[in-house]
Amino acid sequence: MKNENAQVHVIDAITAISIIILSIIFAGSIAPVQSTVNPGTSSQLKILADDALRTLDTEMSEDDIKLTKLEYYLWSYTSSPFKNFDVRLTDFLNESFPSTISVSYNIWYYNSSNKKTVLWYPDEARLTFGTVIRSHRIVFDRYSNYVYDVILEVWWI
């Protein structure tokens, strides 16, 4: 009876050790889950962002007939000492992305003459997450002769 008990304990111990070893082997084989980004969807987001900027830079502004909407919004922001942001820009962008998708974005502009990148919207840069697509549009300011690059940074939320 005593010998049987000892045998059972040995089997228990072997089983326990086997379980631990197998779990270590299994844990070691777990690879980091690859980012679940579908290339198709990020391309679609890129096209949406490109199209939004292109439309803004194609439609003429109602406030200044010489400028496109994008040119006008940028000019009114950069030329104003108080840096007044025109909410029509974000209204348009919010409408450009379908309501079925949730995205967040930052808008930057780069002044090629003084080589400075400035955050245009929002006041404080939102923390980017996951796959970030960047769409850009060159804007020439005919009043100051500066060459700007408007960068729209979009990501899924």
Partner 1 sequence: MDIKKIQLFDEKRKNSGAMLIILALFLCFSIIGAAALSADIQNVNVKTISGRSRSLIYEFNILKTKFEEAFNDSLSNTPSNEEKNEIFTALVENFSRIELNHGIFFNATLLDADNYEVDFLIFQKNTRINGIIELDINK
Q: How far is the CB of 62 from partner 1 (least distance, A)?
A: 20
Q: Does 20 bind partner 1 (CB under 8 A)?
A: yes
> How far is the C-alpha of 37 from the C-alpha of 32, rounded, in Å?
14
Q: Does 129 bind partner 1 (CB under 8 A)?
A: yes
Is residue 94 within 8 A of residue 52, CB to CB? The reply is no
**Angle (nearest 5°) at CA 68 between 59 and 45:** 60
Q: Does 132 bind partner 1 (CB under 8 A)?
A: yes
Residue entry with tokens 């008990």: 5
Of the pair 20, 87, the CB lying nearest partner 1 is at 20
Binding span for partner 1 by CB under 8 A among 3-11, 78-86, 89-97, 98-106: 3-11
- Let me know if 64 is exposed, middle or buried by CB neighbors in 10 A (0-12, 13-18, 19+): middle
Of the pair 89, 150, the CB lying nearest partner 1 is at 150
Q: Does 35 bind partner 1 (CB under 8 A)?
A: yes
Q: Does 157 bind partner 1 (CB under 8 A)?
A: no
Give every CB contact of residue 72 below 8 A, 6+ residues apart in sequence: 61, 63, 64, 86
> How far is the C-alpha of 84 from the C-alpha of 72, rounded, in Å?
12
Tell which residue, 135, 56, 38, has the closest CA to residue 93: 56
Binding span for partner 1 by CB under 8 A among 28-36, 78-86, 95-103, 118-126: 28-36
Summarize as ranges the residues that interact with partner 1 (CB under 8 A).
5, 8-9, 11-13, 15-17, 19-20, 22-24, 26-28, 30-35, 37, 42-43, 45-47, 50, 110, 112-113, 115, 128-134, 136-140, 142, 145, 147, 149
